[in-house]
Amino acid sequence: MIWEHLISQDQLDEVLKDTSERVYAIFKHSTRCSISSMAKNRLESKWNPNLPIDKVYYLDLIKFRNLSSVIAEKLNVEHESPQILLVKNGECFYNASHNSISTTHIEHQFA
C-alpha cells in the first residue's frame, strides 16, 4: 500500500476539483490512538492493489488537525478518527470509521 501524505489544503483542493472520474481514498489517522493504529494495520495488511483507487492519502491528525476539519466541512462528513473516505468528483461516496474500516467494505463499493 502506497500512502500519499496529505499535508495541505492546496492538495485537498486539487483532489476535490478533480472531475476525471478518479477515485481517491483519505485515511485520517491519529498516531496517539490504538484503535487508529489497528485500523491502519488492517488496511495495510489486506489492501487490494487492484482496486480502482488512484491515490490513498494519509492524514496525520496530530500534525494536521485543522485540515481534518476542512475535510469534514468540504465533504459534509462528521470528523472521526480513525476514518476512511472515498472521494470521486469532489464528493465523498463512502465513509467509515473505527472498527467499521474494512478492506472488504471498501471493495464492495466497486462491486
User: Cell 491528525, residue?
Assistant: 61
Is residue 26 predicted with pLDDT exceeding 90? yes
User: What single string gives the DSSP state of each residue in 93-105?
Assistant: EEEEEGGG--HHH
pLDDT digit string (tens) for 47-106?
Answer: 999 999 999 999 999 999 999 999 999 999 999 999 999 999 999 999 999 999 999 999
Which of 81, 82, 79, 86 lies closest to 106, judged by CA?
A: 86
3-class DSSP state of 16: helix
- Which residue in 85, 34, 31 sits closest to 57, CA to CA? 85
What is 3-108's CATH number, 1.20.1370.20, 3.40.30.10, 3.40.50.300, 3.90.1150.10?
3.40.30.10
Between CA 70 and CA 53 the distance in angstroms is 22
Domain boundary assignment for the chain: 3-108
pTM for the model stands at 0.95
Give Cα separations from 45 to 5, 72, 79 (angstroms).
19, 27, 25
